[in-house]
Amino acid sequence: MPFFNMISCEEAVLYSYGFATIASAIPAYAKRGDVIFADKGVNFAIQKGLQASRSRIEWFEHNDVEDLERLLEIQAEKDRKNPKIAAKTRRFMVVEGLYTKTADLCPLPQLMALKWKYKVRIFIDESYSFGVVGKTGRGVTEHFGVDVIDVDMIMASLENSIASTGGFCVGRSYIVGHQRLSGLGYCFSASLPPLLATAASEALRIMKEEPERFTRLRANAKSFHLGLKRALEGTHFQVQGSELSPMQHVIYEHPDPKVVDHKLDMLVDELYNRSILITRSRYLDKEEAFPPAQSDKVMTNSEMSEEEVVIALSEIQQAAQKVDATLDE
Amino acid sequence: MAETLTLPATLPFDMDNEEHRRTKSARIFSKLPFRIHPLSWSVSLKTHSGTKVIQSSDAKGFKANFFSKEKIRPTSSSGNYDTLRKNDISSQSKALENILDVNGNIPTRAENEFEPVSRVIALWCYISWTVLLIFAYFREFLLKIGLEKSKATKELDKQKDFVPLYNSFESLYTRRMYMRVRDVFERPIASVPGAVVKIKDRITQDYCWTFQFTGTETEIINTGSYNYLGFAENKGPCADASALSIDEYGLGTCSTIHEQGQSLPQCKLEKLVAQFLGVDEAICFSMGFATNSMNAPCLVDKHGLIISDEYNHASLILGCRLSGASIKVFKHNDMNDLERILRNAIANGNPKTRRPYKKILIIIEGIYSMEGSICNLPAIIALKKKYKCYLYLDEAHSIGAMGPTGRGVVEYWGCDPKDVDIMMGTFTKSFGAAGGYIGGTKAVISHLRKSSPTGYYSMPMSPPVAQQIIESMSIIMGKDGTIEGEKRIEQLARNSRYFRRNLKKMGFIVYGSDDSPVVPIMLFFPAYCGVWGREMLKRKIGIVVVSFPATAMTESRARICLSAAHTKEMLDKVLKEIDDFGNITGAKWSRRAHLYKDIQIEY
C-alpha cells in the first residue's frame, strides 16, 4: 500500500471504517493500569477508544501546553514515590492534528519536547489534517518539520480528504505490527472492498503527482478565513479556526443557547435559499465527554475558483446580516 | 435424499437427555409445591396454513392466576417436577409433529453436535503447548546470551528508557509461536475470492520472518471466504449495476449522515432490507463490526442487564462492555442455564443498586462462526416472552444462508420475525458487499437513527456498495424474475448436508448442525494447524485454520465455509484430500463414525 511511501514510515495497517480505526487502535496498546493524557477537544471516536481501553484518562485543556505539563508533573511525582508501579505504567498522549471541533492545529513541537522530557508516547489523529496541512499534504509532521519516526503512531481516516472509506495507522513496524493481531477492528472484521481501496490508492497517487492542489487549497483557505472575518464583522457571528484550515466554524455570540441554536439554523436555511450549502455541526451531545460549542461548519476545497469564493463570501455576508437583524421570537 | 438415518426435529426444552446435568438448584426447584414452573410458555410458528400458536398445557392457567386478584395458593402437585416436565414435553412433541413450514414441507432440522473428546487428547494438547513454550523460552535464552540474532522489530534506541510497550509474554507468543506458522495466515490474493481464488506464491528463506514473491500465481479451491451464496463475483448483474452507480452517485459524501445526509441507493436499500426481513424498518451502516459495537450502547444503559451467549463475537462483547450494563454469560445454547440466570436476575435485581433491572436484553447469534451451531430460537423466544425480556439476534452468518427463501434463522425455525425485537446482520457474508444493518420496529429504528454515534461521526455507505447489495438481495428475493436466488439457496443447502455427512462418515469430528454452511473440523493440536494449512495449499485447497487465542487452547480447528458456488466436483476433491491427509496425520478422532457407515449419501 502506498501509504507508508507517502509518509515515509515503515508500516501501515488499513481498516475498513474510519471510526473503528481510532477506536480499535488505542485499546490495542493501552490497557487497564496505564495512563493516557488526552486533549479535551478530541473527537468522539477517540473518546470511545479511550473508554474501551479502560486506562486512566487525564484530560488537559484544549491546546494548553502548560496544563499538560502540570498534569505530567503530577504523574512524575507519583512515579517518584512509587518506582515499582511506575516501571509498569505505560504513558500515552493523544492529540489531533487538526481538531474537528475547533479547526485549529495542535502545538506539535512543544508536545514533542514534552514527550522526550517525561517519556510519554504520542499518538496523533490526523483525520482532518492528512491531505490538508503541510507543503505536500503529509500532515502536521511535515508542517512543523518534526521527524515522523519520532511520532509513535499516526492514525487517519480516509473518509475526509481522500474521499474513500476506511482508515489507516502508520508508524514504525514495531508499533504498528502489533495491531495485526490485537486490533479488534482489524482481526475480527471484514476488510475494505477492493473498489474503495483502489480509489484511495488513486487519490494518493494524484496527491503525489499534483502538489499544486495544496497551494490552491492553502490560498483558498486563507482567503476564506480572512473573507469570513470581514463578512461577519458587525454581526454577532464569529469565525473560529486557523488560517490553514479549509474548515471554519461559525459561532454566534449570545448568552442564551436556544437563541444561538435558532440563529445558526436560520443562517443555514437562509444560505440554502441562496444556493450555498453549509451545515450545522452535529454532535451526540449526551455522550460527549465535554459538550462542544454549537457552530456551523463552512468548508472550502482546492477546486473552488476565485469567483466562487467571492460569491460565497458575499452571500454569507448578506445572509448573516439579515439573520442577525431579525428579532428573536 | 434417500437415507436410513432419521434426524429428529429439534424441540425446545428437550429434557430427556439432560438428567446428568441437573444442578442443585434445579433439584431444589423441583420439590417446590407451587404450580409456577418453567413450562408455561407459548410460541407462534409460521406454517403453510397461517400462524399457529403452540402453548404449554398450563399456559392459560398461569396467565389467569397471574392477572387475577386471588392469591396463588399452593396446590398439591400430582407428580413431582420431572414427570410434569416429561408430560408436557410429550404433548409438545405431538403438537409440533406435523407442522408444515411455509413451503408446505415437513422440516427436518439437524441438531447441534458437539462430540466430547477424551481427556487424554486434552492432556496431550496441553503437553504440546508446553513443549512449544519450552522451545520458545530456550530461544529467548539463546537470544539473551547472544548466540542468536533477533529478527523482530525493536524499539528505537532513543526510546529505550520509555516504559516497554508490550507485555513480555504477549510478544513471546507473537515472536516464537505465531511467526513460525505465519505463512498459513495472511495470504495475499490476486483475484476475486469466489469458489476458486488465485493466490500469489511466496517463499520464505528465514522461517516466515520475511517473504519473497516468486511471481507466479496458483489457483486454489477457496473454502475460506464467507461466500455463502456465491455473490463474490466480478461479472454479472450485480457488478454492472454497482459500476453504473459510481458514475451517478460517486464514491462517498465526505461528510456524516446527520450533516449532509445519505445517498439514494442507501435509502432504497433500507426499505428493501425491511421488506426482506419482514420487519417495519431497517437502518444500514457501512461496517458490520461498528454496527454491533456502536449500537449496543444505545439500547442498554447501566441500569440494564445483558445476557449473552458464551461464544458471541468480539464486536458484541465490545458493544456490551461499552454500554456499561451488567453482563452475564450463559453456556452455549443451554436453555436451562439461560433460564436459571433469568430467574436469578429478576429475583435478585442489580447487586450494585439493589433495585430491579430496568431492561434485560438477551444477545445471541444465528450461526456461530467458530462452532457452526445454530441457536435454539423458539426456546429463546418462548423464554423471552415468559420473562418479558428483549432479544437481539445477530445474523451475521445466517442471513441469506439459512431458511427456504434465505431469510435467515428466523425463517429456518418458522418463527415470527416480529417476535425478535432487534434483528442485526451483515452484508459481508452472503451478499458480497460490506456493511451491516439493524431491523426492528419503527420506534427502535428511529431511536437508533437519532442516538447512534455512527450517524454523527462517520460516513454513510458508499453508493456502489449499496447498489451491489440491492441487486443481490433482489436476486435472492426473486425480484429480478429469475429463479437464480432459489437455485443458489438450494445449492448451498445441498452442499452443506453432503459435505458434512461425508466428513462424519470418514471419521472426523465436526461441530455444529448439519444444516449450517460453516464446517469446523476439529484438529485439537496447535501443530496440526501449521501442517494442515501448508499441506492443503500444496494440494491446491485454501483452508482456514484457527487456534488459540480465537478458540480455546485445546480446541484448534480447521474451518471450512461452503458456498453455493462450489460444485460437486470441487467438494469431492476437497473431501478426497481431507480424507487422505486425515489418514496420514491421524486427525480422525470421531467415535461415532460407525453410525454413518452404511448410509448412502446422495447429493
Cα–Cα distance, A245 to B365 (Å, whole number): 45
Closest partner residue to B314 (CB to CB) among A91, A181, A184 is: A184
Residues of chain B positioned with their CB less than 8 A from the CB of A55: none
Cα–Cα distance, B379 to B493 (Å, whole number): 24
Task: Confirm or reject CATH 3.40.640.10 for domain A2-209, answering yes or no.
Answer: yes
Cα–Cα distance, B585 to B508 (Å, whole number): 12
One-letter amino acid of B111: E
Contact A94, A125 (CB under 8 A): yes
Residues of chain A positioned with their CB less than 8 A from the CB of B158: 150
DSSP A64: -
**A residues 201..260 contacting B (CB < 8 A):** none
Contact A78, A44 (CB under 8 A): no
**B residues 293..352 contacting A (CB < 8 A):** 293-294, 313-315, 318, 321-322
Nearest CA in chain A to B285: A17
Choose among A103, A140, A132: nearest CA to A248: A103
Cα–Cα distance, A64 to A58 (Å, whole number): 13
The reported pLDDT for the residue numbered B306 is: 94
The rounded radius of gyration (Å) of the Cα atoms in chain B is: 26
C-alpha cell recorded at residue B215:
511471481
Handedness of CA B46, B49, B55, B56 (dihedral sign): negative
The reported pLDDT for the residue numbered A235 is: 81
The reported pLDDT for the residue numbered B392 is: 94
- Taking the Cβ of residue B433 and every Cβ of chain A, the question of whether any pair is shorter than 8 Å is answered with yes
Residues of chain A with CATH 3.90.1150.10: 212-325
Contact B516, B374 (CB under 8 A): yes
Residues of chain B positioned with their CB less than 8 A from the CB of A121: 159, 162, 165
- Taking the Cβ of residue B191 and every Cβ of chain A, the question of whether any pair is shorter than 8 Å is answered with no
- Taking the Cβ of residue B90 and every Cβ of chain A, the question of whether any pair is shorter than 8 Å is answered with no
Contact B288, B461 (CB under 8 A): no
- pLDDT tens column, B141-165: 888 887 777 766 677 777 777 777 7
Cα–Cα distance, B156 to B175 (Å, whole number): 18
Contact B484, B514 (CB under 8 A): no
Choose among A39, A84, A43, A147: nearest CA to B456: A43
pLDDT exceeds cutoff 80 at B403? yes
The reported pLDDT for the residue numbered B104 is: 60
Cα–Cα distance, B171 to B155 (Å, whole number): 13
User: A174–B153: do the CB atoms touch at under 8 Å?
Assistant: yes
Residues of chain A positioned with their CB less than 8 A from the CB of B434: 16, 190, 192-193
- pLDDT tens column, A198-255: 888 888 888 888 888 888 888 888 888 888 888 888 888 888 888 888 888 888 888 8
CATH code linked to domain A212-325: 3.90.1150.10
Give the contacts of B552 (CB within 8 A, at least 6 positions apart).
Answer: none
Q: Residue A94 — left, alpha, or beta (φ > 0 → left; ψ -120 to 50 → alpha)?
A: beta
DSSP A139: -
Give the contacts of B594 (CB within 8 A, at least 6 positions apart).
Answer: none
- pLDDT tens column, A13-33: 888 888 888 888 898 888 888
Cα–Cα distance, A47 to A40 (Å, whole number): 10
Q: What is the dihedral of CA A280, A281, A283, A288, to 10 degrees?
A: -140
C-alpha cell recorded at residue B12:
425446545
- pLDDT tens column, B553-602: 888 889 999 998 889 999 999 999 999 998 888 888 877 777 777 777 77
One-letter amino acid of A67: D
pLDDT-derived band at B441 (thresholds 50, 70, 90) equals very high
- pLDDT tens column, B5-14: 333 333 334 3
Give the distance from residue A179's alpha carbon to the nearest chain B alpha carbon, in angstroms.
12
- Taking the Cβ of residue A75 and every Cβ of chain B, the question of whether any pair is shorter than 8 Å is answered with no
Cα–Cα distance, B603 to A98 (Å, whole number): 60
A306-325 helix and A212-231 helix, angle to the nearest 10 degrees: 30
Cα–Cα distance, A186 to B43 (Å, whole number): 40
Measured between its terminal Cα atoms, the distance across chain B in Å is 7
Give the distance from residue A328's alpha carbon to the nearest chain B alpha carbon, in angstroms.
25
- pLDDT tens column, B305-324: 999 998 999 889 989 988 88
Pairing of strands A279-280, A296-299: antiparallel
What mean pLDDT is reported for chain B?
79
The reported pLDDT for the residue numbered B422 is: 92
Task: Strands of chain A (E only): list them.
Answer: 11-15, 35-39, 56-60, 91-96, 121-125, 153-157, 167-171, 237-240, 247-252, 279-280, 296-299
The reported pLDDT for the residue numbered B191 is: 84
Residues of chain B positioned with their CB less than 8 A from the CB of A185: 289-290
Beta-carbon-side half-sphere exposure of residue B227 (alpha carbons within 13 Å): 19
Closest partner residue to A279 (CB to CB) among B259, B434, B462 is: B259
Handedness of CA B506, B511, B512, B516 (dihedral sign): negative
Residue A192 CA: distances (Å) to CA of A279, B4, B238, B286: 29, 46, 18, 10
Helices marked H in B54-177: 59-67, 81-97, 119-145, 168-172
Cα–Cα distance, A16 to B434 (Å, whole number): 9
Give the distance from residue B411's alpha carbon to the nearest chain A alpha carbon, in angstroms.
26
- Which positions of chain A have pLDDT values less than 50? 1, 329
The reported pLDDT for the residue numbered A66 is: 92
Rounded to 5°, the CA angle A14-B534-B513 comes to 80
- Taking the Cβ of residue A43 and every Cβ of chain B, the question of whether any pair is shorter than 8 Å is answered with yes
Residues of chain A positioned with their CB less than 8 A from the CB of B242: 195
ipTM exceeding cut-off 0.90 for this assembly: no
Q: Compare B384 and B550 and report the one with higher pLDDT.
A: B384
Nearest CA in chain B to A10: B153
pTM: 0.82
Helices marked H in A167-211: 173-176, 179-182, 184-187, 194-209
Q: What does the pLDDT average to over B43-68? A: 56
| Range A302-308 contact pairs with CB under 8 angstroms and sequence separation of 24 or more | A302/A213, A302/A214, A302/A216, A302/A217, A302/A220, A303/A216, A304/A220, A306/A223
Residues of chain A with CATH 3.40.640.10: 2-209
Which DSSP helix (H) or strand (E) runs through B536?
A: helix B526-538
